[in-house]
Amino acid sequence: IPAPASVPLGRAFSKLFAAAAASNLADGIARLAIPLAAVTLTTDPVIISIFSALSYVPAIVFGLPAGMITDRMDRRHAMALANALRVVAAIGVTLVIAAGALNLWVLAVALVVFGMGETLFDNATSAVVPSVVPREGLDRANSRIQAAQLGLDMFVATPISSVLFAISVALPMIIGGAGYPVAGALVLA
């Protein structure tokens, strides 16, 4: 039996996928960079573990409100807003590092902003897929989006963030922060 011809996912999906990839790569870089930056301020293992755990709290607390926002506003605008907030957070942390005024509270606030933005962006991405892909291509499109979210965020970004941090404490914020406007532009294109 010949395999069924695959349905093209289209140009709109390609832009959405590229946006998801850029955003999730930036998320993964930030998720590791913040606890690494905290290590420059304290060696208390409890505080460092709190920072690692804090990166997942926004998804738990903000998951339902993010879904409601995604349902009530233009999803492209929600994704762009999420990335704009994360750009501001990345720039803020970078400036605080450059000024030599880095502290744990700045890192904690940035981590929460990054997590809230990630939750909103990922919810909106999943919700917009059916509007840009034909029904026959939804399985492939959703699996590609999930692969980008998990693969880039968890596996690719971690070593990149570590190398960037070894070069400079601010570099992961600069490089990671650059991924958000790229993703925002792709979403709005």
Quick check: 178 pLDDT over 70? yes
Range scoring the smallest mean pLDDT among 5-9, 15-19, 72-76, 127-131: 5-9
Please write the tens of the pLDDT for every residue from 84-97.
Answer: 999 999 999 999 99
Rounded to the nearest integer, the mean pLDDT of the chain is 89
Residue 119: the pLDDT is: 93
pLDDT at position 4 over 80: no
Checking if the pLDDT of 74 tops 70, the result is: yes
pLDDT of residue 121: 93
Supply the DSSP symbol for 134: -
- State residue 1's pLDDT score: 53
Is it the case that residue 5 has pLDDT exceeding 70? no
Distance of alpha carbon 132 from alpha carbon 134, whole angstroms: 7
Please indicate, yes or no, whether the overall pTM of this predicted structure exceeds 0.85: yes
- Residue 34 burial (C-beta neighbours within 10 Å; 0-12, 13-18, 19+): buried
- For position 83, what pLDDT does the model report? 93
Q: Which stretches of the chain are assigned E, i.e. beta strand? A: none
Q: Are 154 and 26 in contact (CB under 8 A)?
A: no
Percent of the chain's residues with pLDDT above 90: 62
Distances in whole angstroms, Cα of residue 9 to Cα of each of 101, 113, 141: 47, 32, 7
Confidence band, pLDDT 50/70/90 cuts, at residue 137: confident
Q: Over 50: is that where the pLDDT of 3 sits? A: no
Q: Flag whether pLDDT at 139 surpasses 70.
A: yes
